[in-house]
Amino acid sequence: MYVMSPYTGKLLEDKEAIDKYNNENRWGFEVAVDLGECDLKLISSKEHITNFAIDLAKHIDMKRYGEPIVVRFGSEPKVEGYSLVQLIETSMISGHFAEDTNRAFINIFSCKEFGPKDAAEFSKKYFGAKKMEYSIAYRDI
């Protein structure tokens, strides 16, 4: 597994990341998006999170498989909030929304290419986040 993050050096631009994926014939890649200082109303709304899954899949040109699953749970404030699972034909979109700290953690895993920075920026805007980091993991064995 080859991982790039803001802590390991400069992240590739979307075209470079997609070219690397295709040129190295990787099986898939995953983008992990960490959002900070999100709008609490947005990360606390089941409807908004559900719409996010639908809109993100459309934005990155992925075919959804079934409806988003959005469930609120957590036995302590640190983890209390909604979690999301949206199956896509090429894998899945998942996320957890931490209401106590106004943060969101989103993962997009696919064997179909998409723009990692574009998906991260889309997520940041969707939840009104003031902070955002993302990393890319190329998957293969």
In this predicted model, what pLDDT tens digit does every residue of 85-111 receive, in sequence order? 999 999 999 999 999 999 999 999 999
The structural domains of the chain, with segments of one domain joined by +, span 35-81+88-139
Tokens of 16: 């470079």
* φ, ψ at 56 (rounded to 5°): -65, -45
Find residue 2's DSSP bridge partners: 138
CB 124 within 8 A of CB 30: no
User: How open is the CA angle 59-54-109, to the nearest 5 degrees?
Assistant: 70
pLDDT tens for each residue of 14-59: 998 899 889 988 888 899 999 999 999 999 999 999 999 999 999 9
Amino acid in position 103: R
Question: Which numeric CATH code is attached to 35-81+88-139?
Answer: 3.60.90.10
Alpha-carbon gap, residue 72 to 49, rounded angstroms: 11
